[in-house]
Amino acid sequence: MSTKWLDTRQKVVAYARKLQAERLVYSTAGNISVRVPGEPGLLAVTPTSTQYDFLEPEDIAIIDLDGNVVDGRRAPTSETPMHTLICRRRPEVGAIVHTHGKAVMTMANLGWTLPPILTGLVEATGGPVYTSPYSQPETDQMADFTAEALEDRGATFMRFHGLIAIGADLEHAFHTASVVEGACEVFLTIKQLGVDVEELPQEQVDWIASYWRAQFPGAPEPLPAPEPKPYPGLVR
């Protein structure tokens, strides 16, 4: 194995283990891809059918945007077409994190939308998280059928499947996946309580979401903060 991409591979291993530590994946489910710094036509991708506990840098495949393996001792994730197609079509995306946490899988099964219920959620996703139509695993559908929901958002639920989170880099993509899982838990808890789920005022959503957009190269600066004011009806 070449040592050329060692730093990138080590980073993918570290974040794959973080996925497991935060219970965002189980067993061999989920996957990660990240663009190789300085080589945007290459991705470092988690391998197929490999337990995260035992991942080593040598297991992380280096592939091109057509899915061809450039280096690595294991085959890349079987969902490689999703990663390569998204990155081919969206050069601003630097990393993709695909998770199978309990809360996001619940939302994916129900086909629900996660509304902008928390400031941290909006900062991580750019607004509500929608459920994309069912796409057959290991096919181009995983990129095609999620494209609309990811146009101006950091994440989407994949119907009957899990979550895709995107970002300018791996730190942003992982942060989004982690925050969405927690926000889903909050949302589902509120629904169980039988009370109305209240959302942030649109003015606040627009402002906070501008910070999510600012992560991408060439994006405009975040919007100026609105004038602080009370928002009637938000306090019970």
CA atoms within 13 A on the CB side of 233: 6
Q: What are 80's strand-pairing partners?
A: none
Which entry of 79, 92, 138, 181 is annotated as an active-site residue? 79
Distance CA 186, CA 86 (A): 29
Compute, in degrees rounded to 10, the torsion defined by CA atoms 147, 136, 22, 125.
10
Residue 6, both tokens: 């060692």
CA atoms within 13 A on the CB side of 85: 14
Distance CA 103, CA 120 (A): 17
Note whether 61 and 74 are within 8 A (CB): yes
Confirm whether 92 is a catalytic residue: no
Distance CA 233, CA 190 (A): 17
**Which of the residues are catalytic?**
79
